[in-house]
Amino acid sequence: MHRVKVVSEEFAKNLVYSLKGVDENQVDKVIDKVIKAKKVFILGTGHSGLIGKILAMKLTQLGFFSYVVGEVTTPAMMKGDLLISISQSGETSTILTLTKKAKALGGEVVAVTSSYESSLSKFADIVLVVPAKVEDVNFPILSLLGDEKHKNMSGALFGMNVFALFYGLICELVVRTNQSPERIDSRHANLQ
């Protein structure tokens, strides 16, 4: 149980410091794009894909037309639609290919990545940089997965940071679209 507690503390400390570094102006731009989009598509693989599915679910519960790229019920992307591409490295080949395609189809792109210098950032209309790891936090237990140069640890940290950021975005969207908990609950899945 000791390791479980320490890992949660490591995640929490990193999360607080990482999200302090996120550009609030970019967050506002993302929120505006989501509100104006006809449809919102979410793209990611691995940790990023799992976290992206949660964002798509929450957007649907707020009444947005939100879809996960690659699902069999995902409709066609068109001009006026928004793609949120999530990739820590910003170099994942499938993410880059589909992001380029979205741009060619007339969609707008939000890149959620840990690097402004990434290839994904170059294709995006808005870049939301979310650091994976901050310098001032040590990870005595989580480092059992590796250090910052290993994909397991950095992917886990980035995923947790993006998860919290997305819930913050959702809460801001609740306010800006004048939602109530009852209205949100009315759109919650009920065939389960």
Residue 176 has pLDDT above 90, yes or no: yes
pLDDT value of position 3: 85
- Other C-beta atoms closer than 10 Å to the C-beta of 55 total 25
Rg for the chain, CA atoms, rounded: 17
Which amino acid type is present at position 20?
A: K
Report residue 158's pLDDT band, with 50, 70 and 90 as the boundaries: very high
Tens-digit pLDDT profile for residues 49-107:
999 999 999 999 999 999 999 999 999 999 999 999 999 999 999 999 999 999 999 99
pLDDT tens digits along 111-148: 999 999 999 999 999 999 999 888 877 788 777 777 66
Of 27, 77, 70, the C-alpha closest to 49 is 70
Instruction: Report which secondary-structure segment, H or E, holds 29.
Output: helix 24-36
**Per-domain residue ranges of the chain:** 2-185
Please tell us whether the domain made up of 2-185 is placed in CATH 3.90.1640.10: no
pTM: 0.93
Question: What gap in Å lies between CA 129 and CA 119, rounded to an integer?
Answer: 13
